[in-house]
Structure 1
Amino acid sequence: MSLAASDFSPLAASARSRAQAPRVSAVVSRSMAEDAGTPGRVVVVMAVFALLYGLIALRLIDLGMSDETSSSGYIGAQQAILAARPDLVDRNGELLATDIKAPSVYAEPRKIVDVDEAIDKLSSVLPELGSDAMRKRLESDAGFIWLKREITPLQREAIHRLGIPGIGFLTENRRFYPGGPTAGHIVGIANVDEQGIAGLEKYLDGQGIADLQHFGFATDQALKPVRLSMDLRVQHVVRDELSKAMERYKAIASVGIVLDVHTGEVMAMSSLPDYDPNDPGEALKPENLNRATAGVYEMGSVFKSFSIAMALDSGKVTLDSKYDATKPIRIGGFTIHDFHGTRRVLTVPEIFVHSSNIGTAKMTLDVGIDQQEKFFKRIGLLDKVDTELPEVAAPLLPRKWSEITAMTASYGHGISVSPMQTAVAGVALINGGMLIEPTFFPRTATEAAKGAKRVISKRVSDMMRYLFRLNAVEGSGRNARVAGYMVGGKTGTADKVVDGRYAHDRRRNSFLAAFPMDDPQYLVLVVLDEPKPEEGKYYATAGMNAAPTVSKIIARIAPMLGVVPHMSEDSDTTLVSY
């Protein structure tokens, strides 16, 4: 196509400009019209967003008002995942309790397509889930339910492979006790929700652990280990020797306690039969009761230690005082006699060594009935023992403190206390006269002294150490001696009450001991319930079973506790300054 020169003339350009003018005007008009419609579109967009937000708000309201089981169950599950407890360790750092991870299986019933199929598959791995009750729960409109807490990894894998819609898993903290039953009664139990329900686990909840869990601060990283006063090595020895004694003497139960006499720390405490805290159901069996603190019993002649200490501290009786034990005492239809009667006048040391009921009763009357009650109160025998364990029983006391009551109580009949009460009162007799509340947590002697209470004079305490040692050399405690450790103590053989009457063929035997008696460091108490005579022997008194059990315990734990033996010591020496 050829172009003419006229195409570039000014006239031609003017003509073209006029021809294009209408088209430009039309475009401008259309643009102005579009601009005029923009506010309408903005309003439409805003309305759409408002509708969306409104729908979201309605859904949130609906969820908030939905099935309570769903919301509370899910929240509870999250709390269970977050909840943790501190490790418990013994005084040397040995692990007693810790958290481990364990899977738990849950269901979202609204998402389950076929309940029958789900039940059949689940019960193939966990038969207990095949119940009618579980079927009803899965048929409900709940949003979340637990199926089983703390399953094994193998069970988790098996259920996962079933591929059931609406079934899921959460990993929780589970409490694990490496030592099993070794210290079960001390440590206690925590349930699947990491809540302490017995022993020191329960005590710690009351000290703030439960609040930390509630507010979400109880995590594995946030909680430091809690150290106990117990020595796991000593605890093992005590439990082991109690177990052997029960087998040897065919006893039905036993108790063993070791206390530091200067701090009141519980170094060991065992009560058999016991339970494994990894199997909490065992704790509910009556025979597995913690007899050391939650049981109360007549302790028999061990109480003569307290009665004689009371008499000596009163100033009305001295070690040279004498009492006629030639005849039984008859009072109010009762007869008080001696098991191994000497039928002669006895000095106070002889009353202790020969365990004379007659001499102890007469000595108590010399001091006074009111004074006896006051002294027993002062030394902690009339009140519940104050300690961290929740399982603590109150003593059973006479309804009226009469003359006959005072006489029988002087040798441990008619009054029932816990073994721990007996041990704590026993500590005051040999540590210089200071009553110290027991503790399951570490404490120094200085800290203990701040809360200690003087109950007898130091001089009387020295006299009691002499009597304890004398009994181990010449009396019923001879079988408790350990070469080099100067053991001393007092036996107690108490007839058990059966159907309201004393049964002479059923006894509860005990031996209250301490070592070394020239400078006491530790107290040991052993109680055997219904021990039988060994083959070829007629008697089953405390001197024949409880005392030798104490001897075996001391021989094993003394080196562990750093007590240096005096091997040059004559085993028959009674040298205790008073």
Structure 2
Amino acid sequence: MIRTPLRPLARILSARAKGENPDAIERENIRLRGEAIRERARATAEGRLFFMGLLFVTAFLTVGLRMGTMAATQPQEPQGAGNAPAILAQRADIVDREGRVLATNLVTHALYAQPPMMIDPQGVADKLVKIFPDLNHARLIKDFTTGRKFVWIKKKISPEQLQAVHDIGDPGLLFGPREMRLYPNGAVAAHVLGGARFGQEGVNSAEVIGTAGVEKAFDGWLRDPANNGAPLKLSLDLTIQSAVEEILSGGMRLMQAKGATAIIMDVHSGEIISMASLPDFDPNDRPRPLAKGDPSDSPLFNRAVQGVYELGSTFKIFAVAQALELGLVSPATMIQTQSPMTWGRFKIRDFHNYGAQLSVTDVIVNSSNVGTARIVQMIGPQRQREFLDKLGFLAPTAIELTEAPTGRPIVPAKWSEISSMTIGYGHGLSASPLHLAAAYATIANGGRKVTPTLIHDPKHHPGDEVVSEDVSKRALAMMRAVVTRGTASFADVKGYQVAGKTGTADKVKPTGGYYKDKVMATFAGTFPVTDPKYVLILSLDEPSTFVAGEDRRTAGWTAVPVAAEVIRRVAPLLGLRPDPAQLDTLDGIQLVSAKKN
């Protein structure tokens, strides 16, 4: 900047020439310079004041907007900071074949404490025990007063409990949002679903992992983000599952049984429509496994899959079907049935004396052990073993449950001729009811191998041929005769043409040998026999009912009436219409035959 001199020479010389005082020029220039300096200072001050004002306005607007945003959102509890990786908590739903929810997620909270932030640890402990009676008061006091910085109190709490803890008002009590697994239908299909628990946990979330059943078998799939939350669709029908469990529970109590199981399977696809095992449990509050004793005494035990039993006379149809397939017999072939049958030091007896001979059909209808043993002799041990292997009786089922490998059949160490004969009528080989369901479905559907599954898939591929369609029809006709004039007469549900076979097997003692008064009673059947759609397997563990002046334990008196009620209830739910020709009444109208005059 060029400064103006206070005493410019030109003006000084001009003032002296005119006789004026040169000092006046200096004073004027000093005044002008001062005014210029003051003007610049004022402009600078005004600029600074404007900037400060703008800064304050911006700050107040920012604070105001932030306060408005906070007022419009839900309050959140402060969360502990950490460097641990985020926990993936989202888990896909499980639904039945109709899309009805079997398992889903529920947003809840965990409760934890930071004792250094507490104002009144003693008072907090007193109030928490009132809200959660299962908490240990002394333990809480110790945790809150011994220098700990973090204490888990509850891994999941209800909204009512959350509000009650909020009302305590202590800053040391904090909440962590998380998802928990919810089974809205309670104990329905408990053994299939299995249950879930928390895995890796943090204050902000928790990992939900499967502990049993399909929850564990499909754990990776259910937690995979690549599925975009798509539900896992099972083959179960919730309505039918609920009805079966209700009937089975009533039948179990009525027949004074220790346990029970029932399976309904599609004979063509192998899809499980219903699988029930009693006693059961609520997967929302899964009990602990038994530490000792018989595993089957635990409600966690899935009798349909894990229960391995001798299934008695239900096996006889396999021996007959194989003999028919091999061309060794026809339904009318006469078989020697004189009882007892002696084989070395062993004797094979029938429940009743059926005379010297029975046709192959009547061997099944009357459930003759001797007749079946004679038929198995024609087949031979090696061919019998191969046939039962094709039916799936020599390996665990391929069902999508983590418990499936534990249901390994028990077969004789040496498949001798006497072993093959006893296996023919259901003793000496132990298998699960699910094995039996798959085998009966194979016989019923025209002879194609069936693999049981819990996954709903409209597209299914027929398995390998085990028996011919002609043999399948003949076997079904024999099983229909068992219902119309044999040991399963109580299963003759009008309108649905049920075919089946009973089986009563003495239970094996853990120390060897058999109980005299404990049996496994089973009914295995299919319906409708003219066009088989479904197989039903129903077993009662140690049933006993008092009828006609004596205790009855056989399947015809115990398992069959319960199975009949199941069919009567669920057949309409399965979309099966009763055959009017079999009904005595139709919509309350008595059916009569029309006769010409």
TM bin, normalised by shorter chain, reads: 0.7 to 0.9
Deviation at 1:135, TM superposition (A): 4.6
Counterpart of 1:490 in structure 2 is 501
Residue 170 (structure 2) pairs with residue 156 (structure 1)? no
Alignment of 1:185-200 (within 5 A): 185-192=191-198, 193-200=207-214
Bigger Cα displacement from structure 2, 423-432 vs 307-316: 307-316
C-alpha distance in structure 2 between counterparts of 1:478 and 1:494, whole Å? 19
Per-residue CA deviations over 1:108-167 (Å, capped at 9, x if unaligned) read 234335544443343232244435554554456665442102212222222222222321
Aligned to 1:461: 472
| Distance of 1:537 and 1:454 partners within structure 2 | 48
Cα drift, residue 439 of structure 1: 1.2
Paired with 2:99 and 2:489, the residues of 1 have a C-alpha distance of 37
Distance across 2 between alignment mates of 1:8 and 1:328: 167
1:313 partner letter: E
SS of the residue corresponding to residue 525 of structure 1 reads: strand
Give the TM-score of the pair, scaled to structure 1.
0.81
Equivalent position amino acid for 1:278 in 2: N
Q: Give me the whole-angstrom Cα distance separating, in 2, the residues matched to 1:301 and 1:98.
A: 42
Deviation of 1:171 after TM superposition, in Å, equals: 2.7
Distance 1:107 1:347 in 2: 78
- Is the alpha carbon distance of 1:537 and 1:545 closer, same or farther for their aligned partners in structure 2, counting shifts above 3 Å? farther
Pick closer, same or farther for the CA change 1:17–1:382 going to 2, 3 Å. same
Q: Partner residue of 1:550?
A: 563
Are 2:234 and 1:231 aligned? no
Deviations 1:336-395 (A, max 9, x none): 111122021122111111111111112112111111111111110010000111122111
Is the CA contact 1:483–1:567 (under 8 Å) kept in the aligned structure 2?
A: no
Task: Identify if the C-alpha distance between structure 1 residues 250 and 127 changes in structure 2 by more than 3 Å, giving closer, same or farther.
Answer: closer
Larger proportion of helix: 1
Q: Partners of 2:84 and 2:134 in 1: how far apart?
A: 25
Tell me the secondary structure at the aligned position of residue 365 of structure 1. Answer: helix
C-alpha deviation, 1:263, in angstroms: 1.1
CA contact (8 A) 1:71 1:143 kept: no
> Structure 2 matches for 1:497-516, cutoff 5 A?
497-498=508-509, 499-516=511-528
- Which of 535, 540, 546 is the aligned partner of 1:534? 546
Q: Which runs of 5+ in 1 are unaligned?
A: 24-69, 572-578
Residue 57 of structure 2: aligned partner:
none
- How far is 1:93 from its partner? 2.3
Match of 2:55 in 1: none
Q: Distance in 2 between matches of 1:469 and 1:116?
A: 74
Give 1:255 deviation, angstroms: 0.7
Question: Aligned partners of 1:347 and 1:489: how far apart in 2?
Answer: 18
Contact 1:264–1:448 (8 Å) recurs in 2: no
Which residue is 1:256 aligned to?
A: 262
- The question of 1:560 aligning with 2:573 is answered yes
Whether the 8 Å contact between 2:339 and 2:348 is mirrored in structure 1 is no
Matching residue's letter, 1:107 = A
Give 2:412's match in structure 1, choosing from 370, 379, 398.
398
1:120–1:130 contact (8 Å) kept in structure 2: no
Instruction: Give the match for residue 272 of structure 1.
Output: 278
User: What is the CA–CA distance in structure 1 between the aligned matches of 2:333 and 2:547, rounded to whole Å?
Assistant: 41
| Secondary structure in 2 matching 1:435 | coil
Given the superposition, is the C-alpha separation of residues 133 and 332 from structure 1 closer, same or farther in structure 2, using an over 3 Å criterion?
farther
Q: Deviations over 1:11-68 (max 9, x none)?
A: 2356459989999xxxxxxxxxxxxxxxxxxxxxxxxxxxxxxxxxxxxxxxxxxxxx
Stretch of structure 1 that moved more, 294-303 or 82-91? 82-91
| TM-score, normalised via structure 2 length | 0.79
Q: Report how far residue 535 of structure 1 moved.
A: 4.0
Whether the aligned pair in 2 keeps the contact of 1:180 and 1:277 (CA below 8 Å) is yes
For the 8 Å contact 2:254–2:545, the answer to whether it is kept is no
Matched residue SS, 1:544: coil
Q: Does 1:410 align with 2:424?
A: yes
Q: Which residue is 2:71 aligned to?
A: none
Q: CA deviation at 1:180?
A: 1.1
Q: Is the 8 A contact 2:544 2:558 kept in 1?
A: no
Match of 2:460, SS?
A: helix
- Unaligned 5+ residue runs, structure 2? 1-14, 35-79, 199-206, 585-597
| Farther off after superposition, 240-249 or 117-126 | 117-126
Give the 3 Å change call, closer, same or farther, for CA 570–320 of structure 1 in structure 2: farther
- Rounded Cα–Cα distance in structure 1 between residues aligned with 2:33 and 2:241: 108
Corresponding residue number in structure 1 for 2:436: 422
- CA distance in 1 between counterparts of 2:81 and 2:376 reads 68
Identity %: 37
1:437-476 correspondence runs (5 A): 437-444=451-458, 446-449=459-462, 452-476=463-487
Q: 2: distance between equivalents of 1:19 and 1:568? A: 131
How far apart, CA to CA, are the structure 1 residues paired with 2:97 and 2:222? 21
Alignment-mate amino acid for residue 353 of structure 1: V
Aligned mates of 1:302, 1:464 — CA distance in 2: 12
* In 2, Cα distance between equivalents of 1:176 and 1:502: 43
Supply the distance in 2 between the matched residues of 1:129 and 1:494 (Cα, whole angstroms): 49
CA contact (8 A) 1:275 1:283 kept: no
Distance 1:174 1:397, change over 3 A: same
Question: 1:170: which partner in 2?
Answer: 176
Contact 1:119 1:129 in 2 (8 A): no
Question: Which has more radius of gyration?
Answer: 2
Cα distance in 1, alignment partners of residues 251 and 145 from structure 2: 56
Count of residue correspondences: 509
CA distance in 2: counterparts of 1:278 and 1:398, whole angstroms: 41
The CA deviation at 1:238 is: 1.1
Find the partner of 2:287 among 277, 281, 294.
281
Which residue of 1 is the match for residue 60 of structure 2?
Answer: none
